[in-house]
Amino acid sequence: MTTDALSASHGRRSIFLQGATMLGLAALITLAAKVQVPFWPVPMTLHTLAVMMIALIGGPRVAMGAMATYLAAGAAGLPVFSGSPERGIGLAYMAGPTGGYLLGFLVAAGVTGWLAAGGGTLRRLLAMLAGLAVTYAAGAAWLAAFLPADKVLAAGVLPFVTGDLLKLGVAALLAGGWDRLRKGRSA
């Protein structure tokens, strides 16, 4: 086999592996979306935990790719979102009250992964707080189209802060465990 043929074969395997990774991580985000505590107008899920953990472990490109894959699956009508198919599917769901949070998670995945890169526990926690702020800002801005402005923080942000901070702590612990496992394998 020539060097060009080996390189092309490696490239196809690499693309296949990247695609499989994105699908697997999108499936993880879907599972996180399905674990929910009913709240109105936005349910509490494990989205934050999954997105932040993926951002810490995989970095910005992997995290944004996984979130984009998840969003594409949802836009195509697959019931990946929290409360779907009961609360709707596809673009109609994405245009609903949770649409801003979904977009916020996409941006937060990149921001968190980028800010956390190469950092220790404190840097990772600060990166996740920045990602959470992005998610809340996008979600609240979008939610303002569905609720009176004076109700947005009370309904779409404040009830979730304590749970999300706990999820960030769990994500940091899981990412730290992953790092230790990975370092143990390479030693």
Q: What is the CATH number of the domain that holds 168?
A: 1.10.1760.20
Domain that includes residue 94, residue range = 3-186
DSSP single-letter state for residue 36:
E
Is the link from the previous residue into 60 a cis peptide, with omega within 30 of 0?
no
Q: With 0-12 CB in 10 A as exposed, 13-18 as middle and 19+ as buried, what is 27?
A: middle
Quote the CA–CA distance of 180 and 59 in Å, as a whole number. 17
The number of distinct structural domains making up the chain is: 1
Contact yes or no for 51/63 (Cβ under 8 A): yes
Q: For the full predicted model, state whether its pTM sits above 0.75.
A: yes
* Residue 5 scores a pLDDT above 70: no
- How far is residue 32's CA from residue 129's CA, in Å, rounded to a whole number? 19
pLDDT digits (tens, 9 = 90+) for 22-76: 999 999 999 999 998 776 656 679 999 999 999 999 999 999 999 999 999 999 9
pLDDT reported for residue 9 = 54
